[in-house]
Amino acid sequence: MRYFLQRLLQFAIVFFLVTFGVMVFMRIGMNKPGDPARTMLGGLVPDDKAAAVNKQYHLNDNLFSQYFFWLTKMFRGDFGISVQQNVTVANYMKGRVLVTFFLGFYSLLWALIIAVPVAVYQAYRRDSNFDRAGNLFSFLFVSLPALVLAPFIIQLFVIRLGWFPRISEKVMPWQDLGAHFKNFFLPVLVLTLPLAAIFSRLLRADIVQTLQSDFITLASAKGVPPSRVLWTHALRNSLFSLLSSVGVQLGAIVGGALVVEQYFTMKGMGALLLTSILSKDLFVVQSVTAIVVAVVSLANLLIDLLYAVIDPRIRHARALT
Amino acid sequence: MSISIQAATRTSDGPLLQLEDVRTHFQTPRGLVRAVDGVSLTLERGKALGIVGESGSGKTILSRSIMGLLPTRGTIRQGSIRFEGREIGGLSRRAMRDVWGKEMAMIFQDPMTSLNPLMKIGAQIAEPLRIHLDMSRSDAWATAERLMQDVRIPAPGRRLRQYPHELSGGMRQRIMIAIAMACGPTLLLADEPTTALDVTVQAQILDLLGEQRRDRNMSLLLVTHDLGVVAGHTDEIGVMYGGKLVEMAPTGELFANMKMPYTEALLQSIPKLADASHTRLNVIGGRPPDLVNPPIGCRFSPRCPYVQDRCREEEPPLVPTVEDPRHTYACWYPVGSPEYHETKARRQREAEVAA
Amino acid sequence: MTTAIAATEATRDAEKVKPARKQRHLGWMFGTAWLVVLSVCALFANQLPFIRTYDAKIKIAGKAKGYNFGPGWTAWLGTDNSSHDVFARCIYGARQTLIIGIGATIIGLTVGGLLGVIAGYYRGWVDRVVSVIVDCLLAMPALLLALLLIQRTDQIKETITALGWLTRTEEITVTLGVLAIAPFARIVRAQTLGLRERDFVLAARSLGAKSQRVIWREIMPNLVPAMVTVAVTGLGILIAAEGTLAFLGLGVPRPQTWGTMIDAARDDLSKAWWATMFPCLFLFLTVLSFNFIGDHLARKFDIREAAV
């Protein structure tokens, strides 16, 4: 429990440091009063208008009070305003969060669904042809970032076969399930394959190692069938690298979504982030970054908890300290 | 419940385990490793057999060969292993699965690494019960608790729900024994069951094994490098060297009348309480033989203090002694023979001269 | 007691009899070959006769039309929208990409390695401070951080003229270098923690060697294998990251890298697949090569954390 509190504190420190850092960074080089507003509005605005915007959003205060102004509003659910789009950040994100959520969720899910059985079977039949083929494929896909994989997939499934639309519309599952999958299939595929490759490589290596432990031999000597030895005894003892990798890859999925949303012209958070960064939409960048950082860090915190659920040794070590 | 039934209905005709010319070789990049190279032996029901030898003598591989717990790739298994009158030497792992845990069980050397760290003790004991005897979860756990009582674990009800890391090494080895005995096997193979434990705990574990064996009418194959361990806990002892049995005899007979110089050397390497505290231990010089290119002639000849020319040329066969047909040995000039005494006397003179 | 576990070793050897040795050798040999050929072409692009210049246009009857040629004899990998030779552009892109990747790796390795060694060696509050920095860097998705850094540096250059000399190439290099700091620091720290307790380091310390000396003479040399391995794998990742940044519009304007080429041609995929696919292929093969070599090194030096 104390360990968990420690992690929570660590999370809080990182969150505040990163969000503050982002804000400070966004203000560097803006020496003259009115600069932030001018930047957001595109430079060619009269001074009095810039001054008004600055005043409205406390942009002339010192950095700390600006930060607290922004932070307290964040916690109240007010993410600020996109000055360029002239909407609140919350409304701006509203339709887009789900697109990226589905992208990330499906690709993570599918990557695990593919990677786990493949890795288990590879480790079980080590050095077999299946294992070798698996290794080769995972090598290939690890080396295929979304940027490179997407054109190949589009060329094959859209241009040659014509099975899927070139542009992925935002169709939600409760609207039309079939269309939802049809529109999400390719973008998810692009994100899934490299992810599955990374996961299966890590998991295979760990299971191979676990299979050499004495307790696995003992399980066999008890007459436990191989499937149970693999899935119950070996897999559970080999999940650690996989779990921590899931945590690390969450950030990579955000990056991947950025690229995939470009390729399939999807209106998701990635596209929103890209636009707002390139067009210097200060509040959007700040708030969205904060949300992304919070989600990724909280997910990692959750994974930490999961370790403890799986391994009683961690649980008990935590109880002691 | 089914444990007692199983033990009672055991038929008692014929030996339980019979090995004939068992060979287990491994293909390695270095060449063929002849880990077990022609071992024949018989184990009667309810008896305990000790297999003694240095590391690398093939004793562990022998016990694994009996179990059939060997890597499938690159392994060559030959010879006949008859268990309960049934040939099991050539059976696949799949076919052996019904035997493992149910009729034959194994205890490993290191209790610290042999239990699944993520599984409750109770689940680990209950596992074979559920698989082999189709017990329900609650029955299996209840039986597990009784088994833990049998192996003298205090507060078994509480321990059932604990994890391996919460138990000491001795406790864990008791759990291993409980697991091995769960389905009431007829043969228990124990591979160095006490090596990893504290000296004080060693004796307790050995006594427990002996007691359980008698209660359940099990046979025991005890593999160890320590003649002291097998002395009080076995009916018969086989000494292995270089993948072969080099001497075999009922326990009392072996200690009274050992024939193989190697057995003698093993015995001398055990420190005795009566010795002064600074007595130098007798160490067997040299290394265990290379199992890829074993020495020509007697495999012990390069290290044998009483070696003669013949030993380096011809391999001695396993022959019975005159006094006791159950006592066999493989040596041209056994302990007690004229050549033995002659060489020993000469060695002593040389040693005195050197001093 | 060298033979202590001869028997168990025998079983383990037996399990290792026929691994896919050949396949693995093929992998890293292919990787090395590809990188050597690519580097030679990139280095001597101006001298080699079969590589057109960066700006050369292949015209038909004096006119430069988009996607005139598919892959063929005239232009091996076809021509792009503005009639440039895709092959030549891929080679010039390789030069740029490799320079950026190597530069970023050096930055990441120096800063990250130093932080890692210091944190791992001194422990205590130094370690805690470094850990917080590393955690902060890792909390941001890498691509997001890169976008922010580059975009902001661009703008800061306008206001702070002292930074005006920074070229776009240098900006990207530094940015990617910053991204590489955290993972490098983490791995080096873990390695240092292990080395610190090893006998030869303890011996040096108990003999009264100064910390600096221990770090430079005892720990650093032993970190080299891990660092080289991680650097090679990291190089592959950084090159992919550079491609992604360029694809998102934050690339080097000239010479363009693969990412920019992919972005420019991707809308015409159905019309002229070659203009997108060949830069993709170059990027893929290069990343694959670094992965193959990195994996080979990791095996050789027995390092498990090569997956950054």
Q: What is the pLDDT of residues C53-81, one digit of tens each?
A: 777 776 666 666 666 666 777 767 777 77
Instruction: Give the residue, A251 or C73, on which the prediction is more confident.
Output: A251
pLDDT at C295 over 60: yes
Q: Which two tokens stand for residue B253?
A: 């007979």
Per CB-CB distance under 8 Å, the chain C contacts of A22 are 148
Residue A259 and residue C284: Cβ atoms within 8 Å? no
Residue A222 and residue B127: Cβ atoms within 8 Å? yes
CA distance B52 to chain C (A): 14
* 3-state SS track over chain A: CHHHHHHHHHHHHHHHHHHHHHHHHHHCCCCCCCHHHHHHHCCCCCHHHHHHHHHHCCCCCCHHHHHHHHHHHHHCCCCCEECCCCEEHHHHHHHHHHHHHHHHHHHHHHHHHHHHHHHHHHHHCCCCHHHHHHHHHHHHHHCCCHHHHHHHHHHHHHHHCCCCCCCCCCCCCCCCHHHHHHHHHHHHHHHHHHHHHHHHHHHHHHHHHHHCCHHHHHHHHCCCCHHHHHHHHHCHHHCHHHHHHHHHHHHHHHHHHHHHHHHCCCCCHHHHHHHHHHCCCHHHHHHHHHHHHHHHHHHHHHHHHHHHHHCHHHHHHHHHC
Residue B10 CA from chain centroid, whole number: 23
**Torsions phi, psi for A86 (to 5 deg):** 60, 40
Taking a C-beta distance cutoff of 8 angstroms, is the pair B193, B181 a contact? Answer: no
- pLDDT score recorded for residue A116: 94
Which of C8, C131, C144, C280 to mutate to test binding with chain A, by most A CBs within 10 Å of its CB? Answer: C144
Taking a C-beta distance cutoff of 8 angstroms, is the pair B330, B247 a contact? Answer: yes
Taking a C-beta distance cutoff of 8 angstroms, is the pair A170, A187 a contact? Answer: no
- pLDDT score recorded for residue B35: 87
Tell me the pLDDT of chain C averaged across its residues: 79
- pLDDT score recorded for residue C7: 35
Nearest Cβ partner for C14 among B27, B54, B57:
B27
- pLDDT score recorded for residue C298: 84
pLDDT at C307 over 60: no
Interface of C with A in 125-164 (CB under 8 A): 132, 135-136, 138-144, 147-148, 151-152, 155-156, 158-160
Per CB-CB distance under 8 Å, the chain B contacts of C8 are 60
What's the rounded mean pLDDT across residues A276-288?
82
Q: Which two tokens stand for residue C97?
A: 């990409």
Confidence band (pLDDT; 50, 70, 90) for C106?
A: very high
pLDDT at C101 over 50: yes
Per CB-CB distance under 8 Å, the chain B contacts of C10 are 26, 28, 33, 35, 61, 291
Q: What is the pLDDT of residues A43-102, one digit of tens each?
A: 566 667 667 767 767 776 777 877 887 888 788 877 777 777 777 778 888 888 888 888
- pLDDT score recorded for residue A297: 87
Query: What is the residue-level pLDDT of chain B in tens, covering all 355 positions?
Result: 444 434 444 555 678 888 888 888 888 888 888 888 888 888 888 889 999 988 878 888 899 898 888 887 788 888 889 888 888 887 888 888 888 888 899 988 888 888 999 999 999 999 989 988 888 999 999 999 988 888 888 888 899 999 999 988 888 888 998 898 888 888 999 888 888 778 888 888 888 888 888 888 889 999 988 888 888 888 999 999 888 889 999 988 888 888 888 888 888 877 666 666 565 556 677 777 888 888 888 888 888 888 888 888 888 888 888 888 889 988 888 888 888 888 888 888 887 887 6
- Rounded to the nearest 10 degrees, the angle between the axes of helix C6-15 and helix B59-67 is 50
Q: Which whole-number Å values give the CA distances from C234 to B168, C101, C226, C239, C262, in the listed order?
A: 44, 9, 12, 9, 22
Q: What is the pLDDT of residues B294-333, one digit of tens each?
A: 888 888 888 888 888 888 888 888 888 888 888 998 888 8
Q: Which two tokens stand for residue B42?
A: 């018989």
Alpha-carbon gap, residue A94 to A272, rounded angstroms: 11
Q: What is the pLDDT of residues C9-55, one digit of tens each?
A: 333 433 344 444 555 678 888 888 888 888 888 888 777 777 777 77
Q: Which two tokens stand for residue A79?
A: 């993410």
Confidence band (pLDDT; 50, 70, 90) for C8?
A: very low
Q: What is the pLDDT of residues A149-197, one digit of tens each?
A: 988 888 888 777 878 777 777 777 777 777 778 888 889 999 999 999 9
Q: Which of C305, C234, C242, C288 is nearest to C32 (CA)?
A: C288
Query: Quick check: helix, strand or coil at residue B64?
Result: helix
Alpha-carbon gap, residue A154 to A162, rounded angstroms: 9
Q: Which two tokens stand for residue B88?
A: 């099991």
Which of A148, A155, A250, A297 to mutate to test binding with chain C, by most C CBs within 10 Å of its CB? Answer: A148
By CB atoms closer than 10 A (0-12, 13-18, 19+), residue A61 is: middle
Alpha-carbon gap, residue A236 to A206, rounded angstroms: 10
Sequence-separated (6 or more) residues with CB below 8 Å from residue A75: none
Per CB-CB distance under 8 Å, the chain C contacts of A148 are 240, 243, 262, 280, 283-284, 287
Q: Which two tokens stand for residue B101?
A: 């845990």
Alpha-carbon gap, residue B312 to B334, rounded angstroms: 15
Nearest Cβ partner for C15 among B59, B64, B73:
B73
pLDDT at C4 over 50: no
- pLDDT score recorded for residue A321: 41
- pLDDT score recorded for residue C111: 93
Taking a C-beta distance cutoff of 8 angstroms, is the pair B101, B131 a contact? Answer: yes
Nearest Cβ partner for B114 among A215, A225, A313:
A215
Residue A218 and residue B127: Cβ atoms within 8 Å? no
Residue B125, amino acid: I
Residue A206, amino acid: D
ipTM: 0.83
Q: What is the pLDDT of residues A109-150, one digit of tens each?
A: 999 999 999 999 999 888 888 988 898 898 889 888 888 898
Per CB-CB distance under 8 Å, the chain A contacts of C159 are 29-31
Residue C17 and residue B30: Cβ atoms within 8 Å? no
What's the rounded mean pLDDT across residues A24-41?
66
| H or E element in which residue C106 lies | helix C86-122
**Torsions phi, psi for B233 (to 5 deg):** -125, 10
Alpha-carbon gap, residue A190 to C259, rounded angstroms: 17
Q: Which of C279, C248, C251 is nearest to C84 (CA)?
A: C279
Radius of gyration of chain C (CA): 24
Q: How many CA atoms lie within 13 A of B122 on its CB side?
A: 17
Residue C63, amino acid: K
Q: Number of residue pairs across A and C with CB atoms under 8 Å?
A: 142
Nearest Cβ partner for B56 among C3, C16, C17:
C3
Per CB-CB distance under 8 Å, the chain C contacts of B269 are none
By CB atoms closer than 10 A (0-12, 13-18, 19+), residue A33 is: middle
Q: Which whole-number Å values give the CA distances from A194 to A143, B109, C188, in the listed order?
A: 8, 42, 26
Q: Measured in Å, how far apart are chain A's first and last C-alpha atoms?
A: 9
Which single residue is written with the structure tokens 């503050």?
A: A20
- Lowest-confidence pick of A270-274, B14-18, C236-240, C301-305: C301-305
Taking a C-beta distance cutoff of 8 angstroms, is the pair C134, C115 a contact? Answer: yes
Per CB-CB distance under 8 Å, the chain A contacts of C236 are 143
Taking a C-beta distance cutoff of 8 angstroms, is the pair A210, A216 a contact? Answer: yes
Which of B26, B57, B67, B76 to mutate to test binding with chain C, by most C CBs within 10 Å of its CB? Answer: B26
Residue C248 and residue A274: Cβ atoms within 8 Å? yes
Confidence band (pLDDT; 50, 70, 90) for C287?
A: very high
**Torsions phi, psi for C141 (to 5 deg):** -55, 135
- pLDDT score recorded for residue C24: 62
